[in-house]
Amino acid sequence: MFRRREIPVLGAIAILIAMMLLPGGAARAREGKRKQKESWEAGADKRKSDYVFMEALRRSALDNDAGYFELLRKAVELDSTDTQPGQTLGFYYMGLGREDTTLAAKGYALMRRHFNADPGDYYSAIFYGIANNQLGNKKEAVRVWQTLDSLNPTKPNVTLQYAQALQNMQDSVSLRRSIDVLDRIERAEGVDIGLTSHKVRALMTLLDTAATFAEVDRLIAASGTNANSTLYAGDVMMGMGRPDSAIILYNRACEIDPTNGLAYYKRAEFYREQGDSVGFDREVFQAVRQEGLAPEVKLEIFSSYIRQLYADTTQQPRIQGLFDTLLIQHPHEAQIRDLYSSYLVAIKNFKGAAEQQEYALDTDPSNVDRWRSAVSLYATAEDYEKALETAKRALRYQPGDAMLMFYGANMLSLLERTDEAIEEYEKTMAAIPADNRELKSAVLCSLGDTFYKKGLADSAFVYYDKALESNPDNLLALNNYAYFMTEEGGDLDKAEKMSAICVRQQPDNDTALDTYAWIFFKKKEYDKAREFIDRALAIEGDNPQADVLHHAGDIYYMNGDHKDAIEFWEKALKLEPDNKLLQKKVKNKTHFYE
């Protein structure tokens, strides 16, 4: 055992005195104390920074986002030399800075600083590499992923990122280097369709046809009886302009796995591109009829088929036949019902679309969106009784749903059951969440419409005012208020201002344009009235509304064009044969006020 040698106290004092007596000794002593103090203070700040940073991470784990951000900033302020808190703050800034380029640049600089100081911080480096990928900083991305790859040579995901960064450079040298990097992964992991696809992409960019075919041959040889690899090889052949080789590979994939719907679809696409519509249909039908094929795969294939053919009315029997097959195979598959419903909407069979939503609801009656869709579709089909019945049934499963209550009240109004409709609108108001001002405004507008229908214009206008107070951008309320105010001989200037908002917001809305034209007619500004009624008529084209035609006749008449005016009235009368005023105008060939 040994003892630490100690300088006697008197000896220490003597040394201290000697230092003070030497030239500059006292100054050096003071400088040493100052540096010692600065070192202690710096160390204290660093210790504080470490503590604050750890607390920030703890807050993050507790989802205390505001506290996390403030503590991160404090940690960086306490010790600006520690790049780890800076990197974390930088990552946070990058997230916040999607619409703030200055903040994003600050965050990026902090992440870059940390990577340069400590490239071995694996996850921080990964985040920095991904940031460069997203920002399109190609050269920096190559530097980061190359560094990470050199430090982590056994991590194929990092090596693959390095290869992709090289490919993004697009120059021939980088592309060749990327192939070398991919070869290194392949030697360790084996031949894989994903690696082959990366190499083929680079080789095709380099226009190296021979090497491309060689890679495809290697993949097929290594994959054996793998249908997906065979399909990929077929796609490459198509891309290289070799359709004869492609169809051989697609056929082989179908033989390898007869239940592979993608194989049939690829073959179908081949026939479509070759202009063989019979072959195309045949392959799609084969894919859909595969019993062993997952419903979601069938849906993907069939959806693409429908998108290409639904506009051709001659194809509708074929599409209907496919749906019949699918529904026999999978009668309780709600997604198939949804797809069928969407198709029926596209061909304007709204009632059929609603029925498909109801079939889907038999499987899952808790789906409120499907209930709402079914009610809306019945209403679009003008089957208001069925829409009302569906809304009532929906509310048994979704009690208190304000939107379904609103739909039901609308149906009552459309069925001229105005007193019941008003009662249901008032119940709906009580069910609307306080923050849903748009729905509240819509219900108040509908109350205004219903009161006007009852002949109570003053009450209607009160509700329109309330609707606009809740949502000043409610265009339906603005339009209806303006139109009915005009009809009642009210403030035409106010009506014009409200209607102008609708026309500015929806310049292609024929109803808004008709209202605007009618206000100018009532103000006796007939030239302006004609300008806007012509725009409404142009939008409606071959499907004009009776009201618009009636207004057009009045406006044209007051512009001195009596012949066209009478033609408009006659067309309107065909759509509304019981309209007494139109009958009178057509019979007498002149304008009358109501």
pLDDT class of 51 with cuts at 50, 70, 90 = low
Spell out the long-range contacts of 405-409 with Cβ–Cβ below 8 A and sequence spacing 24 or more. 405/431, 406/439, 406/442, 406/443, 406/446, 407/372, 407/375, 407/376, 407/379, 408/375, 409/443, 409/446
Q: What mean pLDDT is predicted for residues 261-268?
A: 81
3-state helix, strand, coil in the chain (%, to 5): 80, 0, 20
Answer whether residue 335 shows pLDDT above 60. Answer: yes
Least confident among 210-219, 467-476, 482-491: 210-219
Side-chain-side CA neighbours of residue 117 (13 Å): 15
Q: What is the dihedral of CA 40, 41, 46, 52, to 10 degrees?
A: 130
* CA distance linking residue 560 with residue 544, whole number of Å: 22
What phi-psi label fits residue 22: left (phi over 0), alpha (psi between -120 and 50 degrees) or beta? beta
Give the pLDDT score at 42: 47
On the 0-12 / 13-18 / 19+ scale of CB atoms within 10 A, 500 is: middle
* CA distance linking residue 296 with residue 308, whole number of Å: 19
Give the pLDDT score at 527: 95
Q: How far is CA 504 from CA 475, 479, 491, 517, in A?
A: 11, 12, 20, 14
pLDDT class of 8 with cuts at 50, 70, 90 = very low
User: How do the domains of the chain map onto residue ranges?
Assistant: 473-594
* CA distance linking residue 29 with residue 19, whole number of Å: 8
* CA distance linking residue 170 with residue 139, whole number of Å: 11
Give the pLDDT score at 56: 63
Q: ∠ at Cα 544 (541, 548), nearest 5°?
A: 120
Q: How far is CA 465 from CA 440, 449, 482, 506, in A?
A: 13, 12, 11, 21
Higher pLDDT, residue 283 or 441: 441
Answer whether residue 18 shows pLDDT above 80. Answer: no
pLDDT class of 535 with cuts at 50, 70, 90 = very high
In the 8-state DSSP scheme, what is residue 398? S
> What's the topology of domain 473-594?
1.25.40
CB atoms within 10 A of CB 184: 16
Answer whether residue 44 shows pLDDT above 80. Answer: no
pLDDT class of 21 with cuts at 50, 70, 90 = very low
Question: Which contiguous run of DSSP H or E holds residue 502?
Answer: helix 492-505
Q: At what angle do helices 492-505 and 475-487 cross, to 10 degrees?
A: 150
Give the pLDDT score at 324: 86
Average confidence score pLDDT of the chain: 85
CB atoms within 10 A of CB 408: 25
* CA distance linking residue 45 with residue 258, whole number of Å: 69
What letter represents residue 590's amino acid?
T
What phi-psi label fits residue 400: left (phi over 0), alpha (psi between -120 and 50 degrees) or beta? left
Question: What's the token pair of residue 350?
Answer: 């709204």
Give the pLDDT score at 97: 62
DSSP secondary structure of 219-268: HHHHHSS-HHHHHHHHHHHHHTT-HHHHHHHHHHHHHH-TT-HHHHHHHH
* CA distance linking residue 192 with residue 194, whole number of Å: 5
Question: What's the token pair of residue 29?
Answer: 């002593």
Give the pLDDT score at 29: 45
Answer whether residue 33 shows pLDDT above 60. Answer: no
Over its C-alpha atoms, the chain yields an Rg (Å, rounded) of 38
Answer whether residue 242 shows pLDDT above 70. Answer: yes
Q: Over the stretch 303-319, which tens digit does the pLDDT of each residue have?
A: 777 776 666 777 788 78
